[in-house]
Amino acid sequence: MLKEFKEQRLNEIQELRSMGIEPYPYKFEKELTAREIREKYDYLQAGEVLESEKLSFAGRVMSIRHHGKTAFFHMKDDTGRIQAYVRADSVGKEKMDLFKRHVKIGDFIGVRGFPFKSKTGELTIYVQEYTLLSKALRPLPEKWHGIKDKEIIYRQRYLELIVSDEAIERFRKRFKAVQVIREFLNSRGFIEVETPILHYVTGGAEARPFVTHLNVFDIDMYLRIAPELYLKRLIIGGFEKIYEIGKNFRNEGISYKHSPEFTSIEIYQAYADYNDMMDLTEELIVEVVKRTCGTLKISYQGKEIDFTPPWKRVRMRDFLKEKLGVDILEDPDEVLLKKLEEYGVELEIKNRAHLIDKLRDLVEEELVNPTFIIDHPVVISPLAKRHREDPRLTERFELIIFGREIANAFSELNDPVDQYQRFLEQAKMREEGDEEAHMMDLDFVRALEYGMPPTGGLGIGLDRLFMFITDSPTIRDVIPFPIVKPKKFEEEEAEFEGGFEE
């Protein structure tokens, strides 16, 4: 069916060209978007015509209803849909016949005319002339909800965007949120910077990296798991307020909240500590939610999340002691392991860092509204400064929303001797089989030896944040082109056979 459809469209293109009509012209002067047309002319009453107002619009044809020598059709751009009306006594018989024969659902056309409201009250463009702008060779799905395989949607996101106005709005909200973040930070004197994607050694997070090979030097390199250590090098070099929005890559599992490729922002401010970064995190996310959702109380998957500040702050030690009855500073490993076994948690690696991490995972699910978990043990925080009141702890926080880690921040460790010892401990963990432990980065230690000012650092997982503001159940719904298991092109084509109707 699809093969025959494409052949028919190719024949139409050949016919158009034989008539001297190019089905793929170079440009069209589009003056207004669908939203702007609605905003400008929505005041018209049913049946009212504004022939003196001329406008031009272009978009994709989404539906057509032919009525003899006239036709109503809907066009879509990235702001929405609008109806248009064409008739033979306006465009001429020849152009009307051409419209009926060659303008199909999925094609792009440009129209010029004037606005009016139909008798049913729908704002409509009265077409006085039109231009075919792009001929579609494939049909659109008759009903998008008929495609139940989400993998198809993820592999062919462009198709979802074409037929689903909700998808356009979802990603518009994502992209607007990034714009809000930049405006917020730029207005506070931060500079957006860039750091490498290819790393000689991994660092800045506990994760398994992707390995690649640089032919010119004949060495293995890694896709970055985090930009942290390079951003700190910029602080050491003299920058004081910086941020980077970019991709990170972790060779790990895929779930509703995990993607091997994801977007984060990391922010560093000299002469600040983790208290300052908590305030910054709260103010930044409040601004994003307010400007993208219009309210600080949003509905996410049927539950309310209240972003109204101030947000709750709880110490990790106190939180785990209250919820699980264990003391992560005083209790021996055996007690922590026994508690995990009570909850059926199995561990491949049973060092203290992993025990504490797994205990934390057990209780974070309870936190729905934004909550800062603060003051983590040194053993799970190799890049954070020791706590000024308790050297067993670090000045670190994680922001938990709806049971998910959204942000991680420190008073950054700037003592090169302490940092070197922490790297040694991480290296030992790697030797014991922990592939996610930090690698030794001697160049970073060397940079620290030149001196780094007191610094607050912050990382936010933007995809997870965008899940909340778009009410998306999985992270892949907010990543435009997420990683999915590949499928042969022929298999995908077979899945669509019979699923279309013109």
Sign of CA dihedral 23, 26, 27, 33: positive
**Is 405 a known ligand-binding residue?**
yes
Closest by alpha carbon to 59, among 28, 36, 85, 88?
28
Largest CA distance in the chain: 88
**Is 495 a known ligand-binding residue?**
no
What residues contact residue 227 under an 8 Å CB cut-off, 6+ apart? Answer: 195, 204, 244, 246, 248, 264, 266
**N-to-C CA span, the chain:** 11
Place of tokens 């980077």: 244
CA angle in degrees (0–180, nearest 5) for 229-245-262: 90
Distance in angstroms (rounded) separating the CA atoms of residues 198 and 223 = 5
What residues contact residue 299 under an 8 Å CB cut-off, 6+ apart? Answer: 305, 471
Distance in angstroms (rounded) separating the CA atoms of residues 358 and 341 = 11
Distance in angstroms (rounded) separating the CA atoms of residues 395 and 409 = 8
Q: Tell me how far CA of residue 270 lies from CA of 203, 276, 414, 494, in angstroms.
A: 20, 11, 11, 57
Which phi-psi region, left, alpha or beta, contains residue 453 (left: φ > 0; alpha: ψ -120 to 50)?
beta
Residue 315 in 3-state DSSP?
strand
Q: What share of the chain is helix, strand, coil (3-state, %, to 5)?
A: 35, 25, 35
348 residue type, one letter? E
Tokens of residue 98, six digits: 């051409």
Tokens of residue 34, six digits: 């669908």
> How, if at all, do strands 80-87 and 70-77 pair?
antiparallel
Residue 232 in 3-state DSSP?
helix
- The H-or-E segment that residue 457 falls in is strand 455-461
Tokens of residue 289, six digits: 């939610």
Closest by alpha carbon to 473, among 402, 372, 422, 416?
402
| Residue numbering of the annotated binding site | 398, 405
| Residue numbering of the annotated binding site for Mg(2+) | 398, 405
